[in-house]
Amino acid sequence: MMTRLNETLGPGTGNQAIVLALCQRTECLAWMRLALDGMAIVLPVDLRPDEIIQAVGKSGASVLIADFGDQHPGTELFDQIRLSFPDLKVIGVGSLSDQQALLTAMRAQVVDYVEQESPVANLRKAVERVLAEIRQRRLRTGRLVALCGGIGAGSTTLTCNLATMLKAQQPHASVLILDFATPVGDAAVQLGIAPHISFAEAVRNLDRCDRTYLNTAIARSAGGIGVLPLFHEARDLRGLKIADAYQLLVLILSTYDLVIADLGGAAFSDLGQYLQQAADETEVSPIFMRNKSPHATPPYA
């Protein structure tokens, strides 16, 4: 009998997460285990919903990898599992050319779908992202808003507007802008800030990072809004470990009352996708916001 583990869901931590594998193919299960070696313990489960529900309850698993290959499960199976565990995240594995498998996976509400013949790093990255998102939701006390839009569509102006308005409404709340848009640095310019550190620099100093470090190292506007740009120079991103970046985001989201991520032109990056998945609310910037003043009232205020 499996005992419930005190799992730590963040990648790169001492304890390994438990991931369930709904897989009938031996070679596919071996591929999953190779992909998650050192990061998660992969426990195979049968197609019976009662067995899966029992395994989730006993192991404390938050992620199920489902094989949508030759003998893929029906959507009814996932409907039954979610009656008991509505927060269980499902990652699909299968062929991208199999339209029926893709349709079944979509109906099963998978959060990601990985090509079964792809390098093991693809599955590892998908699981890593989902586990990090689960962990930050459990730990954070603040709220995350992601603002998306094309380059030049006004997401940075909207970000500054929103941060200024909410800080004025709640003066004692800690507010941080993640300036991850393209080009990087516009939020700091609009708010009149000269950033002390960048996100990339903080990731490289992750062993020093705690709430005190963030509160003292991140520059703030006259109104008390913090701004953390993605980098000072693009070369700062070279060699960064995505797992370390996820851990820093977990810390940030447990430190600030409100985090607004400006993802204009960067929504499809690894960090952009993670922040959209983790967001409590996602907004798309209308192009007519482009020339608004950063101190103007947002149109939905």
Query: How many whole angstroms separate alpha carbon 192 and alpha carbon 197?
Result: 15
Is residue 4's pLDDT more than 50? no
Cis status of the peptide bond prior to 171, with omega within 30 of 0: no
Same fold, 17-138 and 142-289: yes
β-sheet with 258-262: strand ranges across: 225-229, 175-179, 258-262, 143-148, 281-284
- Give the whole-number percent of the chain exceeding pLDDT 90: 37
> What is the predicted pLDDT for the residue at 13?
37
> What is the predicted pLDDT for the residue at 15?
62
pLDDT digits (tens, 9 = 90+) for 5-18: 233 333 333 468 89
- Give the whole-number percent of the chain exceeding pLDDT 70: 87
- 3-state percent helix, strand, coil for the chain, nearest multiple of 5: 40, 20, 40
Query: How many whole angstroms separate alpha carbon 30 and alpha carbon 273?
Result: 28
> What is the predicted pLDDT for the residue at 142?
73
pLDDT digits (tens, 9 = 90+) for 68-98: 987 778 888 998 888 878 888 999 999 888 8
pLDDT digits (tens, 9 = 90+) for 203-250: 998 888 888 888 889 999 999 999 999 998 878 788 887 777 877 887
- Domain 142-289 sits in which CATH superfamily? P-loop containing nucleotide triphosphate hydrolases (3.40.50.300)
- Domain 17-138 sits in which CATH superfamily? Response regulator (3.40.50.2300)
CB 228 within 8 A of CB 218: yes
Is residue 138's pLDDT more than 50? yes
Query: How many whole angstroms separate alpha carbon 235 and alpha carbon 227?
Result: 20
> What is the predicted pLDDT for the residue at 64?
95
For 152, the token pair is 């030049």
Query: How many whole angstroms separate alpha carbon 147 and alpha carbon 286?
Result: 11
Domain boundaries, the chain: 17-138, 142-289
pLDDT digits (tens, 9 = 90+) for 153-212: 788 999 999 999 999 999 999 999 999 998 888 999 999 999 989 999 999 988 888 888
Alpha helices in the chain (DSSP H): 26-35, 49-59, 75-84, 99-107, 120-139, 155-169, 186-190, 199-204, 211-217, 242-255, 270-278
